[in-house]
A and B are shown apart, each in its own frame.
Chain A
Amino acid sequence: MSRVNRREFVRGTAGAAILLGAPQLWLRSAEAAIRNENIALDKREFKKLADIALSTAKKLGASYGDLRVARYMNESINTREERVEDVSSSVNSGFGARVLVEGTWGFASSNVVTPEQIEKTTRLAVEIAKANRAIRKKPVEIEKLPGYDDEWTMPMKRDPFTVSVEDKIKLLLAVNDSAKKAGANFCSSSMTFVREEKFFASTFGTLLRQVRVRSFPRFRVTVVGKGTGRFDTRRSLAAPRGRGYEYVEECDLVAEAARASEEAKEKQKAKSVEPGKKDLVLHPTNLWLTIHESVGHPTELDRALGFEANFAGTSFVTPDKLGKLRYGSELVNIVGDRTQKGGLSTIGYDDDGVKTKGAEFHILRDGRFENYQMSVGLAQKIGRKRSNGCAFADSWDNFPLQRMPNISLQPGKKKVSIEELFSDIKDGIYIMGDSSFSIDQQRYNFQFTGQVFWEIKNGKLGQMLRDVAYQGNTVDFWNSCDALCGKEEYHLGGAMNCGKGQPQQIAPVSHGAVPARFRKVNILNTERSDI
Chain B
Amino acid sequence: MIISEAEAKRITQRALSFSKAESATVRLRGHERGNIRFALNNSTTNGFQDGLSLSVESNFGKRSGSASTNELDDRSIEATVRKAEENARLAPENAEFLPPLGPQKYLESRAFFESTAGARPEKLAALCGPVIQEADRESVTAAGFLEAGAECEALATSNGLFVFEPSTAVRFTVSARTSDGTGSGWAGQHQHDIARLNVSRLGKSAMQKTVQSRNPVALDPGKYTVILEPAAVCDLLGLMIGNFDARSADEGRSFFTKKGGGNKLGEKLFGEKINLYSDPHHALAPGSVFSGEGLPVARRDWVKEGVVNELIYSRFWAKKNGREPVPNPTNLIMEGGTTPTDELIRDTKRGVLVTRFWYIREVDPRTMLFTGLTRDGTFLIEDGKISKPVKNFRFNESPVAMLSNIEAMGISERTTGSEVDDWPVCVPPLLVKDFNFASLSDAV
| Partner among A35, A87, A109 whose Cβ is within 8 Å of the Cβ of B90 | A87
Whose C-beta in chain A lies nearest to the C-beta of B64?
A86
Interface flags, A77-89, vs B, CB<8A=1, else 0: 0000001111111
- Chain A: minimal CB distance from B360 (Å): 7
Interface flags, A8-32, vs B, CB<8A=1, else 0: 1110011101111111110000100
Q: Decide: B443 and A36 in contact? CB cutoff 8 A.
A: no
Interface flags, B250-279, vs A, CB<8A=1, else 0: 011100011111000000000000000000
- Within 8 Å CB of B91, what residues of A? 84, 87, 165, 169
- Does A54 count as interface, using CB distance less than 8 angstroms? no
Considering the chains assembled together, what is the distance between the CA atoms of A292 and B186 in angstroms? 26
- Within 8 Å CB of A106, what residues of B? 46
- Within 8 Å CB of B95, what residues of A? 83
Considering the chains assembled together, what is the distance between the CA atoms of A311 and B65 in angstroms? 37
Q: Decide: A524 and B438 in contact? CB cutoff 8 A.
A: yes
- Does B387 count as interface, using CB distance less than 8 angstroms? no
- Chain A: minimal CB distance from B162 (Å): 12
Q: Decide: A33 and B73 in contact? CB cutoff 8 A.
A: yes
| Partner among B6, B128, B368 whose Cβ is within 8 Å of the Cβ of A2 | B6
Q: Decide: A25 and B71 in contact? CB cutoff 8 A.
A: yes
Q: Decide: A135 and B67 in contact? CB cutoff 8 A.
A: no
Considering the chains assembled together, what is the distance between the CA atoms of A54 and B118 in angstroms? 28
- Within 8 Å CB of A503, what residues of B? 33, 35, 47, 49, 147
Q: A106-B46, A131-B125 are in contact. Are A437 and B438 (CB under 8 A)?
A: no
Considering the chains assembled together, what is the distance between the CA atoms of A164 and B3 in angstroms? 36
Considering the chains assembled together, what is the distance between the CA atoms of A1 and B164 in angstroms? 8
- Does A308 count as interface, using CB distance less than 8 angstroms? yes
Q: Decide: A309 and B42 in contact? CB cutoff 8 A.
A: no
Whose C-beta in chain B lies nearest to the C-beta of A13?
B1
Q: Decide: A313 and B46 in contact? CB cutoff 8 A.
A: no
Q: A8-B120, A307-B44, A310-B39 are in contact. Are A169 and B71 (CB under 8 A)?
A: no
- Within 8 Å CB of A311, what residues of B? 145, 173, 418
Q: Decide: B44 and A20 in contact? CB cutoff 8 A.
A: no
- Does B76 count as interface, using CB distance less than 8 angstroms? yes
- Does A166 count as interface, using CB distance less than 8 angstroms? yes
Interface flags, B158-175, vs A, CB<8A=1, else 0: 000000001000000111
| Partner among B5, B144, B145, B253 whose Cβ is within 8 Å of the Cβ of A3 | B5
Q: Decide: B78 and A34 in contact? CB cutoff 8 A.
A: yes
- Within 8 Å CB of A124, what residues of B? 48
- Within 8 Å CB of A92, what residues of B? 53, 68-70
Q: Decide: A502 and B252 in contact? CB cutoff 8 A.
A: no
Considering the chains assembled together, what is the distance between the CA atoms of A301 and B442 in angstroms? 20
Q: Decide: A111 and B70 in contact? CB cutoff 8 A.
A: yes
Q: Decide: B371 and A440 in contact? CB cutoff 8 A.
A: no
Interface flags, B426-444, vs A, CB<8A=1, else 0: 0000000000001111111
- Does B112 count as interface, using CB distance less than 8 angstroms? yes
Determine which residue in B2, B48, B95 has the highest number of CB atoms from chain A within 10 A of its CB, and name it: B48
Q: Decide: B46 and A309 in contact? CB cutoff 8 A.
A: no
Q: Decide: B361 and A436 in contact? CB cutoff 8 A.
A: yes
- Within 8 Å CB of A306, what residues of B? 39-40, 141, 143, 177
- Within 8 Å CB of A131, what residues of B? 120-122, 124-125
Q: Decide: B117 and A7 in contact? CB cutoff 8 A.
A: yes
| Partner among B38, B88, B375, B394 whose Cβ is within 8 Å of the Cβ of A135 | B38
- Within 8 Å CB of A34, what residues of B? 75, 78-79
Report the count of interface residues on B (CB-CB < 8 A): 128
| Partner among A35, A397, A502 whose Cβ is within 8 Å of the Cβ of B49 | A397
- Does B45 count as interface, using CB distance less than 8 angstroms? yes
Query: Which of these binds chain B: A145-153, A226-234, A343-351, A489-497?
Result: A226-234
- Chain A: minimal CB distance from B150 (Å): 6
Q: A21-B74, A502-B35 are in contact. Are A526 and B120 (CB under 8 A)?
A: no
Q: Decide: B48 and A10 in contact? CB cutoff 8 A.
A: yes
Interface flags, A388-426, vs B, CB<8A=1, else 0: 000000000111010000000000000000000000000
Q: Decide: B50 and A110 in contact? CB cutoff 8 A.
A: yes
- Chain A: minimal CB distance from B397 (Å): 9
Q: Decide: B71 and A128 in contact? CB cutoff 8 A.
A: no
Q: A87-B65, A87-B87, A441-B375 are in contact. Are A526 and B32 (CB under 8 A)?
A: no
Q: Decide: B252 and A185 in contact? CB cutoff 8 A.
A: yes
Considering the chains assembled together, what is the distance between the CA atoms of A214 and B418 in angstroms? 29
Q: Decide: B42 and A135 in contact? CB cutoff 8 A.
A: yes
- Chain A: minimal CB distance from B52 (Å): 6
- Does B119 count as interface, using CB distance less than 8 angstroms? yes
- Does A157 count as interface, using CB distance less than 8 angstroms? no
Q: Decide: B35 and A135 in contact? CB cutoff 8 A.
A: no
Determine which residue in A3, A87, A227, A310 has the highest number of CB atoms from chain B within 10 A of its CB, and name it: A310
| Partner among A33, A222, A527 whose Cβ is within 8 Å of the Cβ of B76 | A33
Contacts A30-B75, A438-B360 supplied; 7 other A-B pairs, CB < 8 Å: A4-B3, A18-B7, A25-B76, A111-B70, A112-B50, A124-B48, A444-B442
B residues with a Cβ closer than 8 A to A are: 1-7, 10-11, 14, 32-53, 55, 64-80, 82-84, 87-88, 90-92, 94-96, 109, 112, 114, 117-122, 124-126, 128-129, 132, 141, 143-145, 147, 149-150, 152, 166, 173-175, 177, 186, 251-253, 257-261, 358-369, 371-373, 375, 392, 394, 396, 398, 400-401, 418, 438-444
Of the A-B pairs whose beta carbons lie under 8 Å apart in the complex, a sample of 16, sorted by A's number, is A7-B119, A18-B52, A23-B75, A83-B92, A96-B47, A110-B50, A110-B51, A111-B52, A128-B48, A132-B125, A227-B260, A306-B141, A443-B443, A469-B396, A503-B147, A531-B401
